[in-house]
Each structure stands twice: as C-alpha cells, then as structure tokens.
A and B are shown apart, each in its own frame.
Chain A
Amino acid sequence: MHFSRQAAIVGVHEHETRWAPDKTDFQLAAESARAALADAGLTLKDVDGYFVAGVSGMAPALMCEHLNIRPKVVDSTSIGGTSFLAHAAHAASAIATGRCEVALITYGSTAASRGVAVGTGGRAGYEIPEQYELPYGLTTVAAYALCAQRHMHEFGTTSEQLAEIAVTFRRHASLNPHAKYREPITVEDVLASRMISSPLHLLDCCIISDGAGAVVMTSAARARDCAKPPVWLLGAGETVFHPEAGKRDFMRMAASQTGPIALGQAGVRLEDIDLCMIYDSFTITVLMTLENLGFCKIGEGGAFVSGGRLALDGELPTNTDGGGLSSNHPGMRGIFLIIEATRQLRGECGPRQVPNCRLALAHGTGGTLGTRHGGVTLILGRD
C-alpha cells in the first residue's frame, strides 16, 4: 500500500529566531503553529491530530494543554532529531484512514540561549545500555566521529571531502536571510577549525541555535481548499539502527533500509529527485546518508560529495537552507527538513530556489550514528 496523494502538507513555518532568551520552548512552538496554520488558511479549531517531540514527560498532554486543543490522534514518537519526519508519516496514515483530518506537528527549543552543550556536554540519563557507554565519556560528536574514522580507514575518505559539505551548505546559508551563519567559509577554514573529536573539526559539526517550526497536513479533499498548493507525502520509511548486539557494520545506517522503502512507495527512483534535505548533524552524517540511500556505493561518498555536486547549481542540490551546519540546529532539526522541502516544492525560496523543483527526498538521522539512531526517509512531491 502507498499513500498515493492521500495526505498533503498544506502549511509550514520555520521560526525566524535563532536566539530567543526571553521566550519559552512552548511559546516558540505555539508561534510557529499559529503561522503554519495561517499559511494553510486553517485555524487551531481545525486541528484534530497532534504530533510532538522534544518535550519531555507526557509530551502530547503538555503541549495540547498549552495550545488548548483536544485532538483525536496524538503521537510523540521519539527517535531523536528525525522524529518529526516519522510524525509526518504517521499523520499521513492517520489522515488516510480517517482517524484525523488536520494534523499539526510542532517543535520549539531554546537550546542555545539556555546554554545546552548539545554535542559535547556528556549525556545524562541511565537507560540500560548507557551503563556500558557513559563511563567512557561518549559524547554525541564522538559517536559520529567513530563512524567517520572508520569510513576514512576503510575507504580513504578525507577531511577535505567532508569539509566540502560544510563549505557548500554555508554558501547556501548565505542566501538564507534567517541563517545563523552566513559568511562564506573555505575547506581550509574547516580544516583549521579546532578538533572536537577526531576526525571531526568544529566546522564539521552542526551549530547550536534556538528555533521552532510547525507543519500542517490534511486530506486530499481538504487540501484543495487550503491557501497554498499541496505538497504530497508520496512515500515514507522509518526504522531504528543500533549496535546489533555488538555485530553491526558501522558503515551501514538506517537510511539503507528506509530509502528503498520510501522510494518504492512513491514509485520513483533516486535519479528523479530534484532536491535532497539530509539531516546534517555532522558532515559525515550527510556523506554516509547519501551512500546508504544509494546515491552512490558505500565507500564512494567522498568522491560523490566533491566537485560541487550538492550545491544549488549542482547535480543534486542538498540542504538549500544552509542546514544544521549553518542555518539552525536547536537540538532536533528534522522538522526543518520538511519545511524547506515544502517551500522548495512550492517555489517560495527566492535566491536559493531550485529551478523546477518537483520531487524532494528528506532523510533524518536522529540519536547517534555510533550507537542508536532513528532514520526516516520521506518522498515529497508537488502536483
């Protein structure tokens, strides 16, 4: 079974803020919800499905209380920063089966202004597997660096190749008025930035910002009456990867499983994709995701990302908003992948618009590549 244009994204909003010390996480999320509903030409009263991540505890109850809504469907699937892509898939299923008609997905975070060291703070919490990790000082950066180091060893991938990813996305950010960092950088700048966890330098790592976003989805019938043209969710795949009881090949990630499923549902091929939105927690995340999705063979990602292929004017424009490496990363970036893809498919992106963008692939990797990560692929298309 596939979605076959049964559910559409009809409203999106990415909060302009990157620094909001005088606001709460809930306030940012509510402001984006208001703007995304307005974008769709809908109101809070229309919302009967609600999806949220990044809120601890009884998340849907807390946020529904804040928004003062009583939806028919709630979901707080929490698989790291990619959670919101899973929410979009779940919302599409709920809409397709008639369990709800208007789904709202929200996110808000003041990670930067609260001084959260997202990548290097050392992790709290004591889930069962963490007793075998926390005593060794595994940070989020280190967990991705373990994969990067192995990739370099097995395939000869270089720091220069990883750096080109950061340089390309910074160039895209320079075209995005809301991006946190817009000054162009060079490969040399990346290599000269301080080492955080080898082989990942500071500029191989996503930034930390405040931020928020919201997405509104509805049925095909209802979408026709909305303010903006529908962006269809054509296919979705989700899973979680983990150390597999110690036997995992760390060069393989969730994208290897979710990509083919999503493409198959949509009935499209990688060659048809006009835009990629890839969760760029780190440069290595992008390189390995493209490999695992099948854009190139595993091990060939270094060559694949070279020569400007991911640039706006390249063969495979990727992260046109500047990504988490330059635009915004409040801790969980997945929702921004959906928002930028939607805006590109609508043709709203001004100087960073991909010409005639008809089909987009968004892939989120949440959690940590070197231990447990969630992966979700979405295929989005316009009429």
Chain B
Amino acid sequence: MSEWRKPVPRVDAESKPFWEACRRHELYLQRCRACQEFYYYPRNTCPYCLGSDVEWVRLSGRGTVYTFTVTYQHGGEGFRDEVPFVIAYVELEGTGGVKMLTNVVECDPAQVRIGMPVEVTFRDVNDELAIPVFRPRGE
C-alpha cells in the first residue's frame, strides 16, 4: 500500500456504514423503504420524506460516465503530481439515476467519454479506509 497523500474522508456517524463497506471493497447506497428512492451522499433521514426507515443496499458497482473533466492543474497535496487525472460523475446502475462524484482510473484520460461503461474499484488509504473509484469495463 503506497502512502496516501490526498485528503482523507472525515468519517461521521452517518457515513460510517458507507465507508466500512468501502473498506471491504463493496459499494452500498441507502434507499428509503417508504419512498423507494436511492440517494447519495449517505444520510440517516431520507432526503425525500425525512423518514428514518432507510436501508443499506449493495450495488452492482457498475455505472456509466455522466460527465467528466480532465484536470491539468491542481495545487493540492497528492494531486499535484498526478495531473492529468479524471474527475467524473458516474451514474450508478440500479439506483434510478443516482450520480456519484469520483475519479475514473486505469485508463488514458483521453479515452474517457460520456456514456462510457465503468465499474467500481477501490483505492486503499490505510487498513481502515478505501476510496471508491471507477475504471472502464466491457459493454
């Protein structure tokens, strides 16, 4: 595991299950049992009805690129030496169109396209934390 120099998520009471799943390299989202709506980011009151009857659901981890940008200039620690890199919104399969901010990795930035099929993979920060990112997948 190489040293993680980028910002580390500050895990809180509501995000803990999400990040714990990521540590196991599994992607989970919450869904409201009353509204039947998936949502992101994680929170324990449904953003449609404010109800607390919400469940964690494991996703396939597949998605498509909704939009992206190739970043060439970044002053932040951990990113400065990584440019150019790809920041994207990925639309997550099976969620009714929920989009998640992420990086697209393991490909030439010039090959990234809107609509491109991708799948989740994880970058281990340490023994406690892993960050979900996406890489190209076959159709």
Contact = CB atoms under 8 A, between A and B. Distances in A.
B38 A136 contact: no
A363 B54 CA distance: 38
B114 A150 contact: yes
Nearest to B76: A122
Contact of B73 (A132, A197, A199, A246): A197
A136 B39 contact: no
B75 A117 contact: yes
Chain A binding surface SS class:
mixed
Contacts, number: 132
Nearest to A139: B74
Contacts of B77: 122
Chain B binding surface SS class:
loop
Nearest to B83: A137
B7 A121 contact: no
Interface residues of A, number: 40
A19 interface: no
Nearest to A151: B67
Contacts of A1: none
Given A138-B87, A247-B97, A120 B73 contact: yes
B33 interface: no
A135 interface: yes
Interface of A: 117, 120-122, 126, 128-129, 131-139, 141-142, 145-150, 153, 194-200, 243, 245-248, 250, 370-371
Interface of B: 6-12, 14-15, 37-41, 47-48, 66-79, 82, 85, 87-89, 92, 95-103, 114, 131, 133
6 contacts: A117-B75, A120-B75, A146-B89, A197-B87, A243-B99, A245-B47
Given A146-B68, A148-B69, A245-B47, 19 more contacts: A133-B101, A136-B87, A136-B133, A137-B6, A137-B71, A137-B74, A139-B71, A139-B73, A141-B73, A142-B69, A146-B87, A147-B67, A149-B67, A195-B70, A196-B71, A245-B37, A247-B39, A247-B99, A250-B67
